[in-house]
Structure 1
Amino acid sequence: MKRFKFLIFLSILSIQSCKTQTNKINGVSFVASGKAINQTDVKPVVNVNANYAAIMPFGFIRNLNDPEINHNTDRQWFGETRAGAKQYIGELRKRGVKIMIKPQIWVWHGEFTGFIEMKNEADWKTLEASYTSFILEYADLANEVKAELFCIGTELEKFIENRPEYWSNLIEKIKAKYKGKLTYAANWDEFKRTPFWTKLDYIGVDAYFPVSDKKTPSVVDCLEGWKKHKAVIYNMSQKYQKPILFTEYGYRSVDFSGKAPWVSDRSMNQVNLEAQTNTTQALFETFWKEEWFAGGFIWKWFHEHDKVGGEDNSRFTPQNKPVEALLRKQYKLPNE
């Protein structure tokens, strides 16, 4: 009887450990560039109190129906290659920054990767072989550099929907190479249908949820807008007994920043720093205090900090904008 009670106690502890995050991931999505980085580029990451950086090597395909992924070539920017990713990681490690390696695909003309879908079985097989080569290249790097976290893909819903068995097998191949924690970066409207969360350590979400239709939403507006989404996100965490990780989050410094946060259209160029700050603050207030929430990676962070962002910039980066101070303050708070 005592042994039975002890086993129940261990089971409860195991469940609680899945739900409780004692150390939040306070991350930045460190954008690849055409050259090596140095400690001058790392210092602003440390200054904003980030403890993680997502390093993002890239593969490229010609269009949504092309099965060939080109990667790790001398035609890419340095930071998009294996050598570049390793160099970035080495510099960040010198200051104690932990690493998530997050390989991504870019479709020419910026088409949405979630729509990648082949038209016949032969092309699906070619895509699978090509993606396996791409992702195992970086699983091997993750093992080499002992990255704390590896992301097996980003926003690939049609690929996953059509080839679930392939993805299940791929995860096993990744685990044979890399022994750290795994996640997948599901789009905000995709994660509810992702079929393999039981095989991963975190439910990864690119958190571009719509939270307000207002030109300059207040924090209160956005907190209200998060309520329906938060309930769904929480239920997913409970269903799978996995912590939620925002593999990407962030807002542009533009009017209507909370209406369709995934939009990167350059025609949206009316700078609105208050909108960016309010939407970001509401996200922090909604999630960072929750035990089932692991943390996240703000989108995007560039090298040469002094030359990017700024109060005339309408893009996602928080750098040299009021939201950077908010980020610094949030990332400095004691972990929940």
Structure 2
Amino acid sequence: MEFIKGFTFAPFAKRGSYTKKEAYKSLDNLKERVGVNFIILVPNGLQDTAQSEEICYTSNSTVSDEELIDMIEYAKKIGLRVALKPTANCKNGTWRAHINFFDEEVHCEPKWSKWFKSYTDFQLHYANLAEKTGCEMFIAGCEMVMSERREEEWRKLIADIRGVYHGLVSYNTDKYQEHNVKWWDCVDIISSSGYYPLKDWEKELDRIEKVVKKFNKPFFFAEAGCMSTKGSSSTPNDWNMEGEVALEEQAQWYKAMFEASLKRHWVSGFAMWDWAWNQYSLNKVEADKGYDVYGKPAEKVIKNYYDAVVK
């Protein structure tokens, strides 16, 4: 597998976002400024709460199929490989990792069986689209931690995806969960979210390495990132952190991640979180505290490592 020098591009974009000229300019900027060869697009699926059984992906909260197809075709035209990662979220703000139901079905209670039926419909819709557009990878969701114990349902879902999509199939588990997924053998590539504290990279990579060796599969970080907020390098997964702008701290976190990860031959790449479709003005860089790296020191760090990678 070619080394992934990637970014998640415009995740959870609302309908109409990909029709705007700013979105195409942003993708051009991503390739030119960072030197990526791969992007992940993330269609948004919404359920009301963590215990809702129905997932909607046809509202104005999700880009239309037409604009998604156009963006995929443009990305491929400018030489990028593309992965689709349809991802479920909760309207009430509960993190998707907490979507959960009773293991045994009970009358008048929400059920895993109904949820997986809706989730499968959601995934297969985009798996068909990924096949139609020639996407190089399909990632069957992201950070669905409480559901991952439902091994039988996940194995069936992956098999159903393979029935309509013939490229590489992965699943993006959450940080610290790599060793808890028991069904990695049914995907082509193991992937996870690499939001590890700056000082913990070696320790966490040691743990992940055991999983990679056990299943003998390629591995990449389907997400990885750190906000430019003071303190974020210690808890990079906390998107609610408050603090002062810390551009250099963000850059140092990326340096630590690359230095640790690129010593491991089994790490096959990264898809950083994230690159917006509508970027802030460069004169506002000094005030931005988010995960964005556009115009920040971290952007140059990523480009330098991506340019240096020969794998």
TM-score, structure 2 as length reference: 0.90
Q: 1:52: which partner in 2?
A: 38
Q: 2:77: which partner in 1?
A: 94
Q: CA deviation at 1:321?
A: 0.8
Q: 1:284: which partner in 2?
A: 258
Q: CA deviation at 1:76?
A: 2.2
Query: Is the 1:59–1:106 contact (alpha carbons within 8 Å) kept by the matching residues of 2?
Result: yes
Q: CA deviation at 1:306?
A: 5.1
1:233 and 2:208 are equivalent in the alignment? yes
Query: Is the 1:311–1:320 contact (alpha carbons within 8 Å) kept by the matching residues of 2?
Result: no
Q: CA deviation at 1:269?
A: 3.5
Q: 2:128: which partner in 1?
A: 140
Query: Is the 1:37–1:91 contact (alpha carbons within 8 Å) kept by the matching residues of 2?
Result: no
Matched residue of 1:151: which SS? Answer: strand
Q: CA deviation at 1:37?
A: 4.5
RMSD: 1.7
Q: 2:4: which partner in 1?
A: 25
Q: Distance in 2 between matches of 1:307 and 1:145?
A: 32
Q: 2:26: which partner in 1?
A: 41
Q: CA deviation at 1:289?
A: 4.2
Q: Distance in 1 between matches of 2:239 and 2:99?
A: 19
Q: CA deviation at 1:323?
A: 0.7
- Aligned partner of 2:114 among 126, 147, 150: 126
- Aligned partner of 1:72 among 40, 58, 61: 58
Q: Distance in 2 between matches of 1:182 and 1:172?
A: 10
User: Which sections of structure 2, spanning at least 5 residues, go unmatched?
Assistant: none
Q: 1:269: which partner in 2?
A: 243
Q: 2:276: which partner in 1?
A: 302
Query: Is the 1:72–1:82 contact (alpha carbons within 8 Å) kept by the matching residues of 2?
Result: no
Query: Is the 2:45–2:62 contact (alpha carbons within 8 Å) kept by the matching residues of 1?
Result: no
Q: 2:193: which partner in 1?
A: 206
Matched residue of 1:263: which SS? Answer: coil
Q: Distance in 2 between matches of 1:76 and 1:116?
A: 19
- Aligned partner of 1:317 among 292, 296, 309: 292
Q: Distance in 2 between matches of 1:148 and 1:307?
A: 32
Amino acid paired to 2:61: Q
1:209-239 Cα distance to aligned partner (Å, 9 max, x none)? 223xxxxxxxxxx3xx322111111111111
Matched residue of 1:305: which SS? Answer: coil
User: Which sections of structure 1, spanning at least 5 residues, go unmatched?
Assistant: 1-20, 212-221
Query: Is the 2:142–2:171 contact (alpha carbons within 8 Å) kept by the matching residues of 1?
Result: yes
Q: CA deviation at 1:92?
A: 1.1
1:265-306 Cα distance to aligned partner (Å, 9 max, x none)? 1x5131111110001011111113432111011101012335
Question: Which protein shows a greater Rg?
Answer: 1
Matched residue of 2:111: which SS? Answer: helix
Q: Distance in 2 between matches of 1:93 and 1:306?
A: 25
Q: Distance in 2 between matches of 1:165 and 1:240?
A: 18
Q: Distance in 2 between matches of 1:72 and 1:86?
A: 15
Matches within 5 A, 1:99-114: 99-114=82-97
Identity %: 26
Q: Distance in 2 between matches of 1:147 and 1:53?
A: 10
1:243 and 2:218 are equivalent in the alignment? yes
Q: Distance in 2 between matches of 1:228 and 1:28?
A: 24
Q: Distance in 2 between matches of 1:330 and 1:101?
A: 24
Q: Distance in 2 between matches of 1:149 and 1:24?
A: 13
